[in-house]
């Protein structure tokens, strides 16, 4: 899998996680239907929040590591390709 496709999938996973988090918060705080379900409603909203955290937090850390490695490789390649200043006396 190419690096760009992997980064795209990680970003997609983050957005899915954030969507689930917001859905869970909405269901817990504002939905009358979830209130009418009682304990099952609490389980549903808590599940949305839990899966939102599962999707969003680890992928953010992994995406950060990937981007830092990519930047380090770019800087290394850039420093290898630029000529060094030499002084002549």
Q: Which two tokens mark 26? A: 């909405």
What is the spatial distance between Cα 10 and Cα 1, in angstroms, rounded to a whole number?
Answer: 13
Q: What's the pLDDT score for residue 43?
A: 92
Q: Which two tokens mark 14? A: 């983050």
Q: What's the pLDDT score for residue 88?
A: 54
Kindly report, residue by residue over 43-88, the tens digit of the pLDDT. Answer: 999 999 999 988 888 777 887 888 888 888 888 887 777 766 655 5
Domain boundaries, the chain: 3-73
Q: Is the pTM of this model over 0.95?
A: no
Q: What's the pLDDT score for residue 45?
A: 92
Dihedral of CA 39/24/20/66: which sign? negative
Residues 44, 36: contact at Cβ < 8 Å?
A: no
């Amino acid at each position: 899998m190419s690096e760009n496709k992997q980064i795209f999938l990680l970003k997609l996973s983050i957005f899915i996680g954030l969507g689930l988090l917001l859905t869970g918060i909405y269901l817990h705080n504002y939905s009358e239907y979830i209130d009418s379900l009682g304990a099952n409603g609490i389980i549903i909203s808590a599940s949305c929040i839990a899966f939102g955290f599962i999707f969003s937090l680890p992928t953010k850390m992994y995406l950060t590591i990937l981007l830092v490695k990519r930047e380090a490789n770019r800087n290394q390649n850039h420093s290898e390709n630029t000529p060094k200043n030499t002084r002549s006396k």
